[in-house]
Structure 1
Amino acid sequence: MSLRLSFSCSKRPEAQEAKVRLVRRYGDVGEDEADVIVALGGDGAMLDTLRRRFGDHKPVYGMNRGTVGFLMNEYLEDDLPERIDRAERATLSPLRMNAVDTLGQHHQALAINEVSLLRQTAQSAKLRILVDGRERMNELTCDGVMVATPAGSTAYNLSAHGPILPIGANLLALTPISAFRPRRWRGALLRHDAQVEIEISSPERRPVSAAADNQEVRSVAKVSIHEDRNQRLTMLFDPGHALDERILQEQFAF
């Protein structure tokens, strides 16, 4: 039986034009009927496509028609079904963010890359950090802090000088953003099943936002974060181009 494909793309003209050509060549059965979803664009397009897979868990094969494209394969139009059939699989579990804002309202969201907390004003954030119910830092004065997955460790986390994590490491990175006090704290590596709680000191006077990837909640008072292993996402990579290999290459880049 031939592979049934559905194409998803970003708003970039290059991605839109690529979709037209690929649909003309391979057809598009729609996401409900597809065996594999093909994402066209950059890493943002891949993340948007993956978020829609929380319901059906269908594998996603990305091709770079954007800028960064760390999560994408090279864009080639020939032999696409054969490339997908030979592709290597990487399975990811997202982070679940539970945030309570200063009005007492609860917000939930899933993050594939990271959950980040950021100050909303010129005043620095003051945060209390607990891991598995035990206080680990009474007060972190900073611009913010994040919990990153292995897939997200090469994104915002790396820009904040956090560690790069192999996909199979079963670890999370807890990384400060511009820590002022304690100034020399560089973060921590946590087990993948760690329960992280972050409490905001004086949230009305020092407001902080929380974002699960690009899903933001303003003026939070408390945020809890844990890996949701009930959700499994599958990404497909060309042989020799798998996410594990790309993360390893990134660790030796200068």
Structure 2
Amino acid sequence: MRLHVREFDGPADRTLLVIHGGPDWDHSYLVEPLNRLAGEHRLLFPDLRGCGRSSVAEPLTPDAMVADLVELIGASQVDVLGFSYGGLIAQRLAIQAPGLVRRLIVASSSVLPVPADAFDGWEEYERRSAAHPSIWDTSPLRGAELTRAEAFATAPLDVWREESLPDYLKRLEQVTFTGNYLRAWREGRFPSARHPDAVERLSGGAAVPAARTPGHDVPGLVGAVDAVHGCGRSGGGRAHGAHRSASGVAGCGQAIPGRCHVIPRAGYGGDGR
């Protein structure tokens, strides 16, 4: 299947594949500041199957998304950055096609499910959640319009620094939202993207040691006040299993790329590249 891909030129042997969140979002909100790596690295920003400007084709499943990315990558190894839902897809890619993934970084996502008590006692989270509730179950909107409205409604939970919110909302204006996964998700038919053996297989466990990115722990980059994955909270830290080297970014929520310009270098800590 042919995906819509935004590409920035650079050395083919230094390719970075960036996997967006959602699903039903596109890649556009992640381009800046990662595009600053252009020239030094070749950058690939695909829209996942059924997302953004990519075609809609059955099956609409996480495994189909991974198969599309394997086809896109081809035979050469790439570095992979997966953001939010894309972090789960990135983990599946590293497990199912370990020979294609040279380095893996999981940002604003988790390996294990977020504990049910991750946000207990967090007063600011409770205040913001009450002021900016999800509208999935209350809005009369449908499809792409509902996906878009939800993104705007809950933006103050994703962006912790209030002064950064206007810039983030401008990013959202550029996103081509879709609604192709909504019905299956709301009906409980959409398969989870979380790999059941991710912790063992990404950390070099006995089952499939080769799935570990060569010579590296799986780095994690999380907002210190991530109100989606609970990563910055003491309870939320338990969700990070395999990436023991997870770094909390001070003052940042779930939308790290839009708020903190640190991802480009943080993803290349192994050898300084």
Which structure carries more helix by proportion? Answer: 2
TM-score, structure 2 as length reference: 0.21
**Structure (1 or 2) with the greater strand fraction:** 1
Determine which structure has more spread, i.e. the larger CA radius of gyration. Answer: 1
